[in-house]
Structure 1
Amino acid sequence: MTRVPLDSNILIYAEIEPDSEKGIRSADLILRVARDGVLPVQVLGEFLRFVQRRFPNALDEAIRQARLYQSVFITPPTTEAIINRASGLARAHHLQFWDCVVCASSAGAGATALLTEDMQDGRTLDGLRLINPFDAANTKSIDDLLVG
């Protein structure tokens, strides 16, 4: 299986809306990707910030969950090199800086595709293909990615 990173929206759906269609899909992806999956530190931070802002009473549980994710996924840090690479991506492609941090960190961990709902589906950014896991048209390519 290819090393596949997940964006924060997948964690959010799985943890906050577990019974929704996106929550069920997200939980499935988390389980399928966990062996060789990547969760950049930025993704964990975005997940925790979302919970802190929207569901402050659930923050302690979210912190426990983030620690569990860290024990199962590769969690590359946001280093000076990642910040510099992300800065270049943000400038060259006119994208949100923190999204570029996720992309740079994912690519730095050896990934060639990022599962994300928030970025431009199908776009390739610095060798990293962005794939919306909630678009049914992407199901086969995600399945191929996860078994390949």
Structure 2
Amino acid sequence: MNSRNSGPRSIDHPVDRAEGTSSIANSSTKNGSVDTRASVAERVFVDTNVVIYACDRGAGDRRVRAREVLAPLLRERRAVISTQVLQEFFAAITRKLHVPAEQARRYVEKWRRIDVVVVRPEIVLGAIDLHRLHTVSFWDALVIKSAAVAGCGRVLSEDLNHRQVIDGVTIENPFR
């Protein structure tokens, strides 16, 4: 997600294509990678890095993989994010990708079309407990606690330990 120039990076939004799209419906698994064919009812929490890669036209293979994983989740309305993800997404694309704030705001509005967990004080307190009990940062614990509260069985993230289970949620790195 690093940028070499100071001009805005070209981005687009996978939510635009998710409804009525014919893109990959089921992602195949390779060496323990994410299987999006799991239970139709399973909700999957998507961390900020996956959301950013899916939008960033300069992210190469990571963009392709993020979109492969997200397409069926978006189409089947199983993707979940949180207000934390929306905040981090806005901050990252404006700061690192140099996307103008007005355009970044429109992208955040589009991400609101999927289920968004509002991070309430109870979730923050639960995240503090997870942080204390497990070797994860507070911010990662907040992602995990938000996923658990939303009833998600999995979190897609490159920032956590692949296949680790915390608070009943399995971490999966879609880029492995």
Normalising to structure 1: TM-score of the pair?
Answer: 0.84
* Compared CA separation, residues 41 and 133, structure 1 to 2 (3 A): same
Say which of 100, 113, 117 aligns to 2:141. Answer: 100
Equivalent residue, structure 1, for 2:102: 60
In structure 2, the gaps of 5 or more residues are 1-39
The answer to whether the Cα contact below 8 Å between 1:18 and 1:27 also exists between their aligned partners in 2 is no
Aligned-residue Cα RMSD (Å) equals 1.4
User: Which residue is 2:10 aligned to?
Assistant: none
Q: CA deviation at 1:18?
A: 5.6
The equivalent residue for 2:73 is: 33
Q: Which residue of 1 aligns with 2:164?
A: 123
Which residue in 2 is equivalent to 1:9?
A: 49
Q: 1:44 aligns with which of 61, 67, 86?
A: 86
How far apart, in 2, do the equivalents of 1:118 and 1:60 lie?
28
Tell me how far apart the structure 1 counterparts of residues 165 and 57 of structure 2 sit (CA, whole Å).
29
Tell me if the contact between 1:116 and 1:131 (Cα under 8 Å) persists in the aligned partners.
yes
Q: Which moved more, 1:13-22 or 1:87-96?
A: 13-22
Aligned residue runs from structure 1 range 77-88, under 5 A: 77-88=118-129
How far did 1:30 drift?
2.2
> What are the ranges of 5 or more consecutive residues in structure 1 without an aligned counterpart?
136-148
Counterpart Cα distance in 1 of 2:158 and 2:96: 19
For 1:89, the equivalent position in structure 2 comes to 130
Say which one has the larger Rg.
2
| SS of 1:46 mapped into structure 2 | helix
Are 1:117 and 1:134, in contact at CA under 8 Å, matched by a contact in 2? yes
What letter matches 2:85 in structure 1?
V
CA distance in 2, matches of 1:90, 1:60: 35
The sequence identity of aligned pairs, in percent, is: 29
Structure 1 runs (4+) deviating above 4 angstroms are: none
Report deviation, 1:132: 0.4
1:134 Cα deviation after fit: 1.0
Give, as a single letter, the amino acid of the residue that structure 2 aligns with 1:51.
I
Cα distance in 1, alignment partners of residues 126 and 54 from structure 2: 30
Return the offset for 1:63: 1.7
**1:11 deviation in Å?**
1.1
1:32-66: per-residue Cα shift (whole Å, max 9, x none)?
A: 11212101111111111111221334332222112
